[in-house]
Amino acid sequence: MQNLISEQIQTKDNIKPNFKFNAKGQQKSEKKQQHLQELRPLLTCKINYYPHQFILSQDGRNFVFEVNRLSGEMFKNLLKMMDGTKTINEIQQIVSPQNPEIVHNFVHQLDQCNLLDDVSQVRVNSGRDILLELEALTNGLLENDLFKFKNLKQIDESQINIVYGYAIEYYHLFARKYDFYSPVLGFQDSTKIRKLINKLYYQEYGQDKLVLESLISLGISSEDLIETMPLPETMAMCNGLLFWSSFEPLFFFSTLEILTSQTINNLQFYIQGCEKLEIESRFVNPIRQLLKNLQNIQAENFTHYIFEEIPHIDGETKQRLREQSYLFIEMYSNFHKAIWNYYSSTSNLLRQVLAI
């Protein structure tokens, strides 16, 4: 068992440093020093923490690093930060900005024992970067495939049930928001994210009541809606969001900005269609209030703040999120197409459960 005491380390002759530090750790060129500071050290060993020492284990080799009560916590935090996501310079600024050589020497010791990988060439996918990539992907898919709300500006009075059908199906979607928000309201991985998602849910609460207010002007009550069922595509949207919030919360968070921004765009065309058909203000005004509510939510940028709290998303997770984006957009597109297709061909607005 090898012993790391203070800044002294015993190494075998065949151990070569990955970072190519020179013997003294000094007299480096400015360019070389800058390169070293940009490396992102990644531990390649198992760590066992004890009150007065840490034991680093790798392939049957054990290294003991002795600490006292004061230095133990600092070096424990230092080891945790060596996950390949932070540069040496960043770690120095966090752990020991006044004495950055402590971090430099410690990294040097670990490197001498081949306990580190050089991941300087590995790109760190921050949460915000991944969100921007997902938004670009989904916006492209929407542009190519989504059944446009712009068509609502072209309908005539004989197709007015389509307008009412959108309100009914959006009511069913909004009324089920608690179901698919519930799994993430107690999000444990980050206190900040949990607070943000709870604040977002609080601001979205009551959107179904605004749509219900519009439907009441048509003589449709909440009791009537309880006895009806949404279109299968609407339930598919709800079930998909519930699944993602339960098992893929990161992807669920990424859908929130898309749903908000697209609903805002859609409602703007929707209101124009209502105005063209001269639908009475008792129906339209609550929809206008819903639009205003969504615009206020969008201005607060909740989703971007959520992803800013995620320092790194690995490549496998990134690919999985991209793959699910295709399914999400297909479901979202089918949701709108189904509303148009069903309500344009029926005179019965409510799909009664008892009638099935």
Which CATH number do you get for residue 210? 1.20.910.10
**148 and 190 inside one domain:** yes
| Average pLDDT for 308-334 | 90
If DSSP codes are grouped into helix, strand and coil, which group holds residue 64? strand
Angle 17-59-86 (CA atoms, 0-180°, nearest 5)? 50
Residue 335 and residue 292: Cα distance in Å, rounded?
23
If DSSP codes are grouped into helix, strand and coil, which group holds residue 245? helix
**267 and 345 inside one domain:** yes
Cα 98 to Cα 34, 58, 92: the distances in Å are 18, 32, 9
Q: How confident is the model at residue 125 (pLDDT cuts 50, 70, 90)?
A: confident
Q: Are strands 46-50 and 53-58 parallel, antiparallel or unpaired?
A: antiparallel
Indicate the residue among 118, 138, 162 that finishes a domain: 118
Q: Looking at the whole model, is its pTM more than 0.85? A: no
Give me 260's structure tokens.
């908000």
Residue 342 and residue 165: Cα distance in Å, rounded?
8
Beta bridge partners of 312: none
Q: What DSSP state is assigned to residue 3? A: E
Give me 125's structure tokens.
């996918």
Q: How confident is the model at residue 146 (pLDDT cuts 50, 70, 90)?
A: low
According to the model, what pLDDT value does residue 156 have?
77
**43 and 158 inside one domain:** no
Q: What DSSP state is assigned to residue 345? A: S
**89 and 170 inside one domain:** no
Q: Which percentage of the chain shows pLDDT scores above 70?
A: 83
Indicate the residue among 72, 92, 118 that finishes a domain: 118
**175 and 42 inside one domain:** no
Give me 155's structure tokens.
């309908």
Cα 88 to Cα 32, 55, 261: the distances in Å are 13, 22, 39
**216 and 258 inside one domain:** yes
Q: Choose among 139, 8, 108, 147: nearest CA to 64.
A: 8
**153 and 61 inside one domain:** no
**107 and 242 inside one domain:** no
Residue 26 has pLDDT above 80, yes or no: no
**46 and 85 inside one domain:** yes
Looking up tokens 């609080």 gives: 202
The Cβ of residue 54 has, within 10 Å, a number of other Cβ atoms equal to 18
According to the model, what pLDDT value does residue 149 have?
61
- Residue 37 belongs to domain with CATH number: 3.90.930.60
Sheet holding 53-58, edge to edge: 8-9, 2-5, 61-66, 53-58, 46-50
Give me 99's structure tokens.
């004495």
CB-based burial label for 14 (10 Å; 0-12, 13-18, 19+): exposed
Residue 40 and residue 31: Cα distance in Å, rounded?
17
Cα radius of gyration rounded to whole Å, the chain: 28
- Per the structure, the count of domains in the chain is 2
Residue 181 and residue 178: Cα distance in Å, rounded?
5
**Terminal CA-CA length for the chain:** 74
According to the model, what pLDDT value does residue 282 have?
96
Indicate the residue among 98, 118, 138 that finishes a domain: 118
Q: What DSSP state is assigned to residue 176? A: T
Q: Which domain holds residue 206?
A: 127-355
Ranges 107-121, 139-153, 172-186: which has the least confidence: 139-153
**105 and 174 inside one domain:** no
Residue 148 and residue 36: Cα distance in Å, rounded?
52
**Which amino acid is residue 138, in one-letter code?**
T
**54 and 178 inside one domain:** no
Residue 27 has pLDDT above 80, yes or no: no
**110 and 201 inside one domain:** no
If DSSP codes are grouped into helix, strand and coil, which group holds residue 118? strand
According to the model, what pLDDT value does residue 109 have?
83
According to the model, what pLDDT value does residue 222 have?
93
Q: How confident is the model at residue 71 (pLDDT cuts 50, 70, 90)?
A: confident
Give me 229's structure tokens.
């069922």
